[in-house]
Amino acid sequence: MKRLLLALAILGLGTLALSQSTTLTAVRASDLSLDAGAAYWTDAPTLEVQMVAAQEGDADGPVVMLQAVYDNDSIAIRAEWADATESVMKNAWTWDGTAFTKSGDEDRIMFAWPIGNNPDFASKGCTAACHNEGDDTSTWWMGSDSDDVRFDAWQWKAARTNPVGYIDDKWWGTLTDPEDVESSRHGDSREGGSYANNRNEEQTGPTFMSSEGTAARFIVDGQQIELDTSTLAVGDVIPGYILAAAVGSRGDIATRGVWTDGKWVVVLMRPLDTGHDDDTVFRVRRRTPFGLSVVDDGGGLSHTVGEEVLVLDWK
């Protein structure tokens, strides 16, 4: 009987999925927070994902180190990657003494998840959502070919969402307008907040400046004051957005990202089940495929991706 029990025990252990290099294993922890230095991170296995250029000719990206922890209610993911420059001044306005010029972009990290079970995404990852047929890149789009298939897209944006502690939570579906490649992307439902362009009607300069002074890199909603160019010196930079944390499904992923010593360390946290139908639902022990993308001071097609389908697993 002892042998039988041993055999059954070995059998049980043997059926454990073998941990592969594409698997991010979330471990149980308590008192989850956005603290990237929390003690529980030392117990969480690290998945290293080499980012490669999504477009031919672009440079490959960094290695992203991912970790994940969870408790009964929430999951937290920690991402760390090398980036020589901190890019947080997207569409910022630079004063030359007589006029403004707009410039700058931001760093980003993005996660894509299937909403519900999706065979295509599970075996192909983001490729299942990527419609990049043909040479004309202006016709490329991300989304699905069926109303029943949707993807949850989390965009951490260094300039527009990170300073106010949330991740831009969107979803991709079918093209609602066949002529508009952006029409498959939708922001999650929102009751308020989010970011707004800081530009005047003529789009020649900002409307507001920060009450915190010209050194402020961000303008959080409530800090904006009417622009007064007489207070500006040549070379002063005005942020391109007025920031406010989104309220509702759009802002249900909290984040804190810090750039120091040539690297970003970002922690994000979300309820396992947000209760919103435009979000993926995590269930402990249900393996969930996901895709990862990193943008260095840019956007659009110029991004780097993890080549393999990544899998979130639970321990």
Partner 1 sequence: MSKLGKWIDERTGISGPVRSFLSYPVPKYVHGNLLYTLGGLTAIGFLLQVVTGILLMFYYDPSPEGAYNSVDYITFEVPLGWLVRGVHHYGASAMVILAALHMLRTYFMSTYKKPREINWLTGVLLLFLTLAFGFTGYLLPWDQKGYWATKVGSEIAGSVPVIGSWLASLMRGGEVLGQATLTRFYATHVVLLPTLVAILIVIHILQLRFHGMAPAITERAKRNSRKFVPFFPHWVVTDTILGLGLLALLVYLSWSQGVPLDFPADPSASDFVPRPEWYFLFYFQALKYFPGSLEAVATILIPLFIFGTMIVLPFVDKGDERRPWKKPVTTGVGIFYTVLIIVLTILAW
Q: Is 72 in the site for partner 1 (CB under 8 A)?
A: no
Q: Report yes or no: 150 and 175 within 8 Å, Cβ to Cβ.
A: no
Quote the CA–CA distance of 261 and 127 in Å, as a whole number: 33
Q: Is 145 in the site for partner 1 (CB under 8 A)?
A: no
What's the min distance (Å) between Cβ of 45 and partner 1?
17
Q: Select from 14-22, 103-111, 179-187, 228-236 the region that touches partner 1 (CB under 8 A).
A: 14-22
* Nearest to partner 1 of 121, 208 (CB atom): 121
What's the min distance (Å) between Cβ of 73 and partner 1?
16
* Nearest to partner 1 of 7, 301 (CB atom): 7
Q: Is 304 in the site for partner 1 (CB under 8 A)?
A: no
Q: Is 146 in the site for partner 1 (CB under 8 A)?
A: no
Q: Report yes or no: 100 and 116 within 8 Å, Cβ to Cβ.
A: no
Q: Is 5 in the site for partner 1 (CB under 8 A)?
A: yes
**Site pattern 264..283 for partner 1 (x: CB under 8 A):** -------------------x
Residue 49: strand, helix, or coil: strand
Q: Which of residues 100-119 bind partner 1 (CB under 8 A)?
A: 116-119
Query: Given candidates 11, 39, 59, 233, which one binds partner 1 under the rule CB under 8 A?
Result: 11
Q: Which of 260, 227, 272 has its CA nearest to residue 100? A: 227
Q: Is 231 in the site for partner 1 (CB under 8 A)?
A: no
Query: Given candidates 289, 291, 293, 310, which one binds partner 1 under the rule CB under 8 A?
Result: 289
Q: Select from 11-19, 40-48, 98-106, 235-243 the region that touches partner 1 (CB under 8 A).
A: 11-19
Quote the CA–CA distance of 193 and 248 in Å, as a whole number: 9
What's the min distance (Å) between Cβ of 110 and partner 1?
21
117 contact partners, CB below 8 Å, separation of at least 6: none
What's the min distance (Å) between Cβ of 228 and partner 1?
57
Q: Within 10 Å of residue 165's Cβ, how many Cβ atoms? A: 16
* Nearest to partner 1 of 35, 145 (CB atom): 145
Residue 7: strand, helix, or coil: helix
Query: Given candidates 17, 52, 63, 301, which one binds partner 1 under the rule CB under 8 A?
Result: 17
Query: Given candidates 35, 58, 86, 120, which one binds partner 1 under the rule CB under 8 A?
Result: 120
110 has which bridge partners? 155, 293
The DSSP output letter for 67 is E
Give me the phi and psi of 313, to 5 degrees please: -120, 170
# residues contacting partner 1 (CB under 8 A): 26
What's the min distance (Å) between Cβ of 309 and partner 1?
9
Listed as own residue / partner, the contacts of 286-290 with beta carbons closer than 8 Å and 24 or more positions apart are: 286/314, 287/17, 287/311, 287/312, 287/313, 287/314, 288/113, 288/114, 288/312, 289/113, 289/114, 289/121, 289/122, 289/125, 290/24, 290/111, 290/112, 290/113, 290/125
Q: Report yes or no: 302 and 61 within 8 Å, Cβ to Cβ.
A: no
**Residues that bind partner 1 in the complex, under the rule CB under 8 A:** 1, 4-5, 7-9, 11-17, 116-120, 122-124, 283, 285-287, 289
